[in-house]
Structure 1
Amino acid sequence: MTDDITAAEASPSDGYLGDPAVRAEWDNRYADRRQLWSGQPNGALVAEIAGLTPGRVLDVGCGEGADAVWLARGGWDVTALEVSGVALERAAGHARDAGVDVRWVHATLTEAGFAPASFDLVSAQYPALLRTPEASAERALIAAVAPGGVLLLVHHAGMETREADDSGFDPADYVWPSMVTALLTEDWVVEVDERRPRVVPDGGAGAHHTDDVVLRARRLR
């Protein structure tokens, strides 16, 4: 990893950068279950980066670390970002068990402060990125990608158009792939923008979702 990545590169026990309420919400979700996700890398990630030369990767919303560990095993230099300290502790344990090195960042994407154009791959698999009037999260995803690099954003299909429900979920609160696509300039080429059947790992939350929206875009310069 080059020295131009200036985010707070925290271990799971270090200080958190971001809204405490967001951290508390996700800590509570993870604390409710011994393991929230399947422990397997996301199928769309595995499919979409086949053939890419390993380099510097940012895993946005790394959860319990399955993608980060898989990427590190594949030779990628991994920085993994997560708001939940509970999830990061689990992720760090999985990385130790696998014998791989991952740089953990305990922060929201908008507060992490990554230097622009720092990563050859930015992967956001089913992220819960909150919208702002300035489109801060969308712009942070785009800005993090180095020239020649790839942005891979995968989300559950159909979520964007759902109605707000009694659980407190409102699609209007979150960033969806179409919002990121709308901000891409002539410096980008969209290589994949489609809905497809989801490759669902056995076990873990979210297994009821059957289709993905996959956005893969490459920064030209």
Structure 2
Amino acid sequence: MVLASLFLLVLPMARAGFVETFENGSDDGDWHLTSDPGRLLVIEPAGGNPGAYLHGQVDSAIPTWYVPLGTAPTHFLGNYAKKGVGGMSFDLNIFSGLQVPDRAVTLDIQTTFGTGDFSKGVDAYYIGTDISKLPVGWHTYAFPVDANSPTIPPGWVVTRGNGKRGTDADWQALMQDVETLGVELGTPGFFYPFFFWDLGLDNARIAKQYRAP
């Protein structure tokens, strides 16, 4: 009876969500803003939403907070379907950047199916909140995922690595093997000039349920 009770307690914990607050130097996901080691990337002990946060700078057309390909172990990659992922959210602060039309926060999820070759993988993105007028201070950006959906969920665009339109089967395969993800400050299909960005990331969350900000 005791063992059965313990099993019931452990199972929900194994499937529960996770939030990276960057407190005490924690960085589940090894979040990056650029691969350039000369650029600022540091966990600040205060000034986040609240408390600690990840502070980064980059010269880019589309600055992107990302979990590097194949990072392990981390809550943010792997088998989303098995984890029962239903949504993700991120707190962002744009300290400085370039204000242009048609810019939105986009969640991009990718896999190479273990090949390391994106042309053999699948990509899916969801266009979120418009930030053409750059917001001031900390804001939460949330995205529905529905990893167990048998079809491509509304709002998601799925593409194969060869450029062809993705199918429901591609969505299911991606959700079983997520290898990298990025939170992009840009809308796919639009082009922007390069600019210096100073950004903050806090409360990176992966959860069983989608929660609107």
Q: TM-score by structure 1 length? A: 0.24
State which structure, 1 or 2, has the greater radius of gyration over its C-alpha atoms: 2
Choose between structure 1 and 2: higher helix proportion: 1
Q: Select the structure with the greater relative contact order (CA < 8 A; seq sep ≥ 6).
A: 2
Choose between structure 1 and 2: higher strand proportion: 2
